[in-house]
Amino acid sequence: MIFIISLLFIIFLHELGHLIVAKLCKCKVEIFAVGFGKTLFAKKIGETIYQLNLILLGGFCKLKGELDYSRSKYSFTNKTYLQKVFISLAGILVNVLTGLPALVYGYHIQCQWLYSFGLYSLAIGLSNALPIPCLDGSYPLWFLLEYKLGKKRTYALMRKIFSISFKILMIINILTIPWLIYLIYQGKIL
């Protein structure tokens, strides 16, 4: 149970990092969601819809014009290179900034749930830093490609590749669920 609660909190914090930095950079956040698939709960506050979705294997912030060419000054694609990188990597930064102290302090005081939370947060954050298309770590490389190909071509290519990559990662996530259930049942994961 600690694993499930930790996972949901880690996902929430990760996406909150993206949300806060996007708003600081004056980028419109259309949707802030924990989970994928069918929406269980949604509430619009200001310009943003906050959602809880059925499949709790991740989350997302849908930014205005994230993978589309747009002329809006509030569009993600029209932010500076550094703003886009900061928005993209903010979730990873939050995972590291919450996970590392939790891991160290949990180990120091022998608190298993705090230690586990820190470990899970670091694992999720650092795995998300991998330069795999559709993960946060790939965005800075794509933004560099934008200088070579231009915005329209780069974002069209990103849409195609990210769509395929996301489906593959979701299949991998779904296939690992029985293994995670087994580990939880065996008491190897809190």
For every residue of 159-181, DSSP letters joined together read HHHHHHHHHHHHHHHHHHHHHHH
Neighbours of 137 (CB within 10 A): 17
66 is catalytic: no
CA distance 173 to 168: 9
Contacts for 81-87: CB closer than 8 Å, 24+ residues apart: 81/143, 81/144, 83/25, 83/27, 84/139, 84/143, 85/139, 85/140, 85/143, 86/21, 86/25, 87/18, 87/21, 87/22, 87/25, 87/27, 87/63
Burial zone of 18 (CB within 10 Å; 0-12 exposed, 13-18 middle, 19+ buried): buried
| Annotated active-site residue in 15, 30, 47, 66 | 15
| Cβ atoms of residues 131 and 137 within 8 Å | yes
**Which residues does the annotation mark as catalytic?**
15
